[in-house]
Structure 1
Amino acid sequence: MPHEQITMHAIAPRPAHVDTFGCTADRLSDDQALIGKDVQFYRKSSLGKRATQVVMPATDRGVLLGVALRGGHRRRIFDGRQARTHDFDNGAIYLRSLAVEYKADLCSDFDFMLVEISRAFIERVAVERGANTISLQPMAGHADPVLAHLAHAMVPVLQHPEQACQLFVDQLSLAIGAHLVHRYGPGAALPEDGGKALRRLPQRSVERAKEMLAARIDGNLSVGEVADACQLSRSHFTRAFRESTGQTPHQWLIERRLERAYALLRDTDLPLAEVAMVCGFCDQSHFTRVFARATGVTPGVWRRAVV
């Protein structure tokens, strides 16, 4: 009986997964995301895993902001046949249109907060701020302390995206969009310090906003919903609410949650996990972090001290 011939076939290696920004997944030490409708946040880092190059074809997704969360990164960015090397200190940014093909050699490890912003969002923010254009100047390696602060505020949110408060993310997105239009848009924008009286909310609008926020103490409420009820644009509402109350809507909501928590801790025997749920926190650990940040002690320690 003749031996059956066995044919050996080489198995081609599976290509490494490449994300929508041209980063190879197995070269990333951090790959976190919080996906919204118009603004998406990502943390991408390659610490200890050497990334070499990113290539990203042109898309119609809007603009991309990158903020270095630590210094020491260098990249060589290509523009046709020309290339230019940029160094990124902590807080340095790059800003580019996603409609332009992108290619860069990564010469060292990186740790960036990436913010992908739709064209519709930038256009809306520009209109709300009185700008007559939505084009933004491309940047690379430019220091921007404001965006650095906002990017670092998103770091804990991306670590626990299931605990993200929609109101906080909305406010942060609006702050980033307004800063980009004001700082990097060539069109005229409304002055930041003009007309305090015009920026304050009428008292009826303040009360309406507070009623809506208190009724949805779980935080599952967008800035847009409250702004619509007050018949204002989102950016105008946020600035006017802060001017009228001394707090952002998110800060006001957190204060109300804590007030409810103080009463429950003092007057009931509810377990801490149940107090957290009743007061709109995601879970007990989230409640403990926010409570300790406000008071300097944990809820359990506070309860034992006052009861």
Structure 2
Amino acid sequence: MTTYTEQTSPRILLTSVGRGWTGLDADFVHIPRGLSHVPGGKLHSLGMHFGPPVKADCSIGGRRMRRVQKPGDIDIVPAGMDGSWEDDADCHILRLSLHPSLLNQVAEDLGRDAGKIELLPRFQVRDARIEGIGRAVKADLEADTPSDPLFIELLANALAVRLIESASGRFPAPDHHGEPKLSERQLRVLTEYIETNLDQKLQLADLAMVAGVSVTRLKTLFRNSTGSPVHQYVIRRRVEYARALMATTRMPASEIALAAGFAHQSHMASTMRRLLGQTPGEIVRQASEF
């Protein structure tokens, strides 16, 4: 491998900056061939390779590895550790940054001692769940209209769970006593809270508090109780509420979007097209025919 002495400058192609994400940051970057150095920061970092295979010489926290990075390969860099990568060709990397406070909170939710969970630098990790999370994040960065921030919170939480599992070597045991669910009262209180706060930014921590469970537990219990992930349920309720307002009022579309909790009118329109196959204009015209 050719040795490069000058550092390359990555070019950010997509970024989560300005999207209002919680717990997780992301950049999709183009890295020219040569040497790139990433100084240790306050966040845990993961780098996922996209595109053709590239030969690389990598170093993290004193550990070194020469390898061919392939699509889906993941490097894990704990907070505070420097990393350097010397690539023999241009490459594209999805960089995910996770807040340690989220990792600690999820560890507590899982009944683990956060102080005993140690993330270690790892090269060329192959993990289908982390790869799936990465691809979902990249798809959201590429979308003209971003997902509800609640979806990103769920991805961040799922990533934290997976990192904790891999760090401790303990994975969830299969449940032989049926699927755990929210009680009828918990589900009623939670869905009523969602209905009355559709115009607000709903966050996982608030929903978990209303249900009286941990954030990590909420994901499983809600899906088992309703058959739908919590973020998809919220999005559908926003869409149905917006459709009802269009059919029964003369409110401007921009006001309906805000009343239903969408970021803006185009966000509402694209979500309606995706879920209902109709535009707001078509819904209004259809309602006027009756």
Provide the TM-score with structure 2 as the length reference.
0.81
The CA deviation at 1:174 is 0.7
| 1:56 equivalent in alignment to 2:30 | no
- Aligned equivalents of 1:71, 1:266: Cα separation in 2: 50
The equivalences for 1:64-103 within 5 A come to 64-78=45-59, 83-103=64-84
Which whole-Å deviations, capped at 9, do the CAs of 1:59-111 have from their partners, x for residues lacking one?
Answer: 4x242122234443443103688742333333321112133331221332233
CA contact (8 A) 1:219 1:253 kept: no
Correspondence for 2:135: 152
Q: 1:208-227 maps to which residues of 2 (within 5 A)?
A: 208-227=189-208
Q: Distance in 2 between matches of 1:241 and 1:53?
A: 46
CA contact (8 A) 1:163 1:282 kept: no
1:105 to 71, 86, 91: 86
**What secondary structure does 1:217 align onto?**
coil
For 2:228 and 2:59, the matched residues in 1 are separated by 44
Does the CA-based 8 Å contact 1:166-1:219 persist in structure 2? Answer: no
CA distance in 2, matches of 1:185, 1:195: 27
Q: Given the alignment of the two structures, is residue 188 of structure 1 paired with residue 170 of structure 2, yes or no?
A: yes
Return the offset for 1:173. 0.9
Tell me which amino acid in the other structure corresponds to 2:75: Y
Aligned length in residues = 279
CA contact (8 A) 2:145 2:270 kept: no
Identity %: 22
Contact conserved, 1:45 with 1:109, CA < 8 A, in 2? no
Q: 1:244-301, CA deviations, whole angstroms, 9 ceiling, x for partnerless residues? A: 1112221111111111122233334444333322222111221122111112332323
Correspondent of 1:228 among 180, 188, 209: 209
Q: How far apart in 1 are the matches of 2:172 and 2:50? A: 30
Contact 2:59 2:85 in 1 (8 A): yes
Aligned equivalent of 2:156, options 173, 182, 195: 173
Cα distance change of structure 1 residues 195 and 174 upon mapping to structure 2, 3 Å threshold: farther
Shift of 1:161: 10
Q: 1:185 offset after TM fit, Å?
A: 1.8
Structure 2 unaligned spans of 5+: 1-6
CA offsets per residue over residues 23-48 of structure 1, 9 Å max, x none? 73xx40515134879733222321xx
Q: Residues of 2 paired with 1:80 and 1:95: CA distance?
A: 11
Task: Decide whether aligned partners of structure 1 residues 212 and 299 sit closer, same or farther in structure 2, where only a CA change above 3 A counts.
Answer: same
- Which structure has the larger Rg over C-alpha atoms? 1
Q: Which amino acid in structure 2 is aligned with residue 191 of structure 1?
A: A
Does the Cα contact within 8 Å between 1:66 and 1:114 map onto a contact in 2?
A: yes
Which residue of structure 2 aligns with residue 9 of structure 1? Answer: none
1:249/1:81 Cα in 2 relative to 1: closer, same or farther (>3 Å)? closer
Asked if 1:265 corresponds to 2:265, the answer is no
Q: Distance between the aligned counterparts of 1:23 and 1:224, measured in 2?
A: 40
- 2:122 is matched with 139
Structure 2 letter corresponding to 1:272? A
1:120 matched to which residue of 2? 101
Structure 1 unmatched ranges of 5 or more: 1-21
- TM-score scaled by length of structure 1: 0.77
Q: CA RMSD in A?
A: 3.1
Q: Structure 2 counterpart of 1:257, which letter? A: R
How far the C-alpha of 1:240 sits from its partner, in A, is 0.8
Determine the C-alpha separation between the residues in 1 that align with 2:196 and 2:223.
19
Write the letter of the residue equivalent to 1:277: L
Distance 1:119 1:272, change over 3 A: closer
